[in-house]
Structure 1
Amino acid sequence: MKKSLIALALTLLSAPAYAFPVTVDNCGTPLTFDAAPNRAVIQDINMSEMAFALGLQPSIVGVTGITGWYKLDEAFKRQQGSIPELAPKYPTIENLVAANPDFFFAGWYYGMKPGGDVTPDTLAPYGIKTLVLTESCVHLDKNRPAASMDLLYGDIEKLGKIFGRDAEADKLVSGWKAELAAIKGKIGGNGDTRVFLYDSGEDKPFTAGKFAMPSALIREAGGVNIMDDMETSWGTTSWETVAARNPQFLVLLDYQDDAGYQKLLNFLKSHPAMKETDAVKNERFVALRYAEITPGPANIEAIGKIARAMHPEAF
């Protein structure tokens, strides 16, 4: 009997300790949890993939903001399983409250708008705690660092802490860092290829600036975002500015609609200034999905795609 008690005590001591309360930084404000959420709602495909990567499905009662914009692949559908979608685009207060959640993972312009009906402040009276996607914090606080992979790593680590899955989060981040180290080892000092990301827009291109995740992805893949001096995350610029900087490589956003990325490439080929740039003349580009260019697990594969397309000789 004594040996059994000693064995039990040793087992308990060696088990992972998920001590609550836990506090995480939430756009500069502390957010405290007395226990792991058990009725979570997750906005957007990229944040859902973060939650799925940590195996949080048993604690998720709904997702929002997915089918209104994106075509889902079979891998995502398998991970989503029977979790319902509560709203195809931005959720309303009513959509969320009806599911009786205790946690919402979203971001500014990822399911929430500053001054809108759905914000951390409007959800708090219903007992819903909101974790804000770190990349989106810049919309309310311009004093943020430029985009880096810490945007992804940090949010995964926060989710792990909040849901008592620290070890799983650490394992994911360590694995991602190892993958990126291998890519960097292959491309070596090739890090100055001029890259332009083209999301949409014909009068003015909508693209990624200093605070948007693609700037970090491009840097990791051995390039430099030519719009890295835009003091914003996502925004518009002029075609004259882009053409003058003569990009050597393009990242084209593939919304997977009827024309996909091809309509973007066709437009660039017909544009009087852009058709003279090195990237367009040489048709040097990679097409990426929305989930690959917004913070999420797909970022790692996206970096590999960019690196291989931009530096094929290294692979």
Structure 2
Amino acid sequence: MSPETPRDSVPPIASTVRRTALLIAGLVLLTACGGGGSASGGEARESAADGFPVTLENCGRTVTVDAAPRHAVSLNQGSTEILLSLGLADRLAGTATWTDPVMKGLEKEEAGVPRIAENQPSSEKVLAEEPDFVSASFESTLGKGGVASRDQFQELGVPTYLAPSDCTGKDNTGSSDGSRTVPLTMDPVYTEVRDLARVFGVPERGEKLVTALRGRVDKATADIDASDATLLYWFANAEAPYLAGCCGAPGIITEELGAKNVFDDTHEEWPQINWETVADRNPDVLVIGDLTRRSQTAESAEKKIEFLESNPATKNLDAVRHKRYVLLSGQAMNPTIRTVEGLERVAAGLRSFGLAG
């Protein structure tokens, strides 16, 4: 999710290019024609027999990678965790924009990848890593007000990849987190896994990961009926809370479990809705983002619950009085491989509250 994501000071890309002319000259030579040669230039390039070049249709663009990246930068946690899950930590020159601790089981892999910035980095910091490939989870990261546009990276010979979940059936033209024209499913996430695995020359790992994710979804939803349960998803901010609309990652969770999101009448990804309206909807369960970043008020679940139990507009909610809370990482509330983690935890919570058959 991207509301109010803080970032380092970002100089205009043109200014960055001027100040780092030598770096960029080398970068262009290194990645000419969208290439993905090794960072050192000393490693053998993959041949056509190895499946390269790879060409993908990605969010309205044709992306060609001539060789498997050796020095990639992933600009959002969700994208990074896919690459780490594919066993590609040694191919990452850097990562940025984190809301949570790394996914369980990937701690060792993540520890070896440089963290360019906790939040959104400047284009200068990204270019300093001399990337041969850049991936991101959100269009805002590779658009106006983001790190740099896809066109600007392309001009430098650096191929870019954007998570399909942020462009499939979604309108990102507004100033908010966008709105969904059609409900999201897990299919674009599976496409992202497969695409990135192809780009890095490990397609079999992508298929293995997708199979594992599908199996977890099937297990979490087996014999569950939560049709009588109403849910509210709160990502961040106490004063003007970001709550999930109908059709993003929380919508996947809700639909898979047969439950109802109390704000399924809005297609905005994360609308800001006042607490009085929440009280009127009176959800059975509150699904709460437990974030470690520090950019909004009430980021952690502890702070959120403290607010809910003391605020006059929320302390009498049924979910609050009965302490029906399900805590999720921020990434589990985003369209990533961790959406499956969110599904598992919400399913377990509904069962423990006696709200699912």
TM-score by length of 2: 0.74
Counterparts of 2:226 and 2:248, CA distance in 1? 22
Q: Which residue of 2 aligns with 1:203?
A: 239
Q: Contact 1:86/1:96 (CA < 8 Å) preserved in 2?
A: yes
Q: Which residue of 1 aligns with 2:133?
A: 103
Q: Contact 2:121/2:147 (CA < 8 Å) preserved in 1?
A: no
Counterparts of 1:21 and 1:144, CA distance in 2? 34
Q: Which residue of 2 aligns with 1:254?
A: 290
Counting matched residue pairs gives: 296
Q: Which residue of 1 aligns with 2:202?
A: 165
Q: Which residue of 2 aligns with 1:185?
A: 222
Q: Which residue of 1 aligns with 2:253?
A: 217
Deviation at 1:113, TM superposition (A): 4.4
1:30 has 2:62 as partner: yes
Q: Contact 2:289/2:329 (CA < 8 Å) preserved in 1?
A: yes
Q: Which residue of 1 aligns with 2:82?
A: 50
Select which of 309, 322, 326 maps to 1:269: 309
Counterparts of 2:293 and 2:120, CA distance in 1? 20
Counterparts of 2:118 and 2:226, CA distance in 1? 41
1:133 has 2:163 as partner: yes
Q: Contact 1:286/1:309 (CA < 8 Å) preserved in 2?
A: yes
CA deviations on 1:96-139 (whole Å, 9 max, x unpaired) are 21111111111436644435451211211221111112333332
User: CA distance change for structure 1 residues 173 and 225 in 2, over 3 Å: closer, same or farther?
Assistant: same
User: CA distance change for structure 1 residues 58 and 305 in 2, over 3 Å: closer, same or farther?
Assistant: same
User: CA distance change for structure 1 residues 81 and 254 in 2, over 3 Å: closer, same or farther?
Assistant: closer
3-state DSSP class of the match of 2:255? helix
User: CA distance change for structure 1 residues 111 and 75 in 2, over 3 Å: closer, same or farther?
Assistant: farther
Letter in 2 for 1:39: H
Deviation at 1:262, TM superposition (A): 2.1
Runs of at least 5 residues in structure 2 that lack an aligned partner in the other structure: 1-48
Deviation at 1:78, TM superposition (A): 0.7
Deviation at 1:289, TM superposition (A): 1.3
Q: Which residue of 1 aligns with 2:276?
A: 240
3-state DSSP class of the match of 1:196? strand
Q: Identity over the aligned pairs, expressed in percent?
A: 29
3-state DSSP class of the match of 2:222? helix
Q: Which residue of 1 aligns with 2:16?
A: none
3-state DSSP class of the match of 1:63? strand
Counterparts of 1:162 and 1:271, CA distance in 2? 49
Deviation at 1:153, TM superposition (A): 1.3
1:62 has 2:94 as partner: yes
User: CA distance change for structure 1 residues 142 and 280 in 2, over 3 Å: closer, same or farther?
Assistant: closer
Deviation at 1:247, TM superposition (A): 0.6
Q: Contact 1:64/1:89 (CA < 8 Å) preserved in 2?
A: yes
Q: Contact 1:91/1:111 (CA < 8 Å) preserved in 2?
A: no
3-state DSSP class of the match of 1:118? coil
Deviation at 1:211, TM superposition (A): 4.1
Counterparts of 1:74 and 1:304, CA distance in 2? 14
User: CA distance change for structure 1 residues 182 and 237 in 2, over 3 Å: closer, same or farther?
Assistant: same
The structure where helix makes up a greater share of residues is 1
Q: Which residue of 1 aligns with 2:324?
A: 284
User: CA distance change for structure 1 residues 253 and 117 in 2, over 3 Å: closer, same or farther?
Assistant: closer
TM-score by length of 1: 0.83
Deviation at 1:73, TM superposition (A): 7.5
CA deviations on 1:10-52 (whole Å, 9 max, x unpaired) are xxxxxxx752333323223332223322221012322211111
1:147 has 2:184 as partner: yes
Counterparts of 2:102 and 2:88, CA distance in 1? 19
Q: Which residue of 2 aligns with 1:3?
A: none
The CA RMSD measured in Å over matched residues stands at: 2.7
Deviation at 1:290, TM superposition (A): 1.6
3-state DSSP class of the match of 1:23? strand
User: CA distance change for structure 1 residues 124 and 257 in 2, over 3 Å: closer, same or farther?
Assistant: closer
Q: Contact 1:89/1:111 (CA < 8 Å) preserved in 2?
A: no
1:86 has 2:107 as partner: no
User: CA distance change for structure 1 residues 129 and 92 in 2, over 3 Å: closer, same or farther?
Assistant: same
